[in-house]
Amino acid sequence: GESVGLHLPTLSVQEGDNSIINCAYSNSASDYFIWYKQESGKGPQFIIDIRSNMDKRQGQRVTVLLNKTVKHLSLQIAATQPGDSAVYFCAEKNTDKLIFGTGTRLQVFP
């Protein structure tokens, strides 16, 4: 079946380092992907998106990379800050709905 999954459930990084969060998807027909950040007790917050006709997209301190050959998605956060601590989800657009992975918890330590 269709699924979106993550390789690492928890990622610990030192403040100032770069973070890389990975995601694998299984539906090769998917053409739109989103990364969300979810802080404790809050709803998912949109970070960045990418369409399948692109392989890279940059935002402020964040970059999303898409490798359609191996169906892999990654989120790179530059100069990670304590405020980046949260659970990060990738989501795949399937017709009208989003299919979410289980999430990666990012912990930033000083």
Could you say which of 1, 40, 43, 70 contacts another protein (CB under 8 A)? Answer: 43
For residues 20 and 75, give the distance between their C-alpha atoms in angstroms, rounded to a whole number: 6
104: nearest Cα among 20, 1, 2, 30: 20
Q: Binding string to another protein for residues 80 to 99, with x set by CB under 8 A, is what?
A: ---------x-x-x-xxxxx
67: nearest Cα among 34, 25, 101: 25
Maximum pairwise Cα distance, the chain? 42
Could you say which of 24, 65, 68, 100 contacts another protein (CB under 8 A)? Answer: 100
Is residue 50 close enough to count as binding another protein by CB under 8 A? no
Residue 28: count other Cβ atoms within 10 Å of its Cβ: 11
Is residue 109 close enough to count as binding another protein by CB under 8 A? no
CA–CA–CA angle 85, 34, 79 (5° rounding): 35
**Least gap, CB of 29 to another protein (angstroms):** 15
- Residue number, 33 or 108, with CB nearest to another protein: 33
- Residue number, 4 or 108, with CB nearest to another protein: 4
Could you say which of 1, 42, 69, 70 contacts another protein (CB under 8 A)? Answer: 42
- Residue number, 27 or 100, with CB nearest to another protein: 100
CA–CA–CA angle 90, 108, 72 (5° rounding): 25
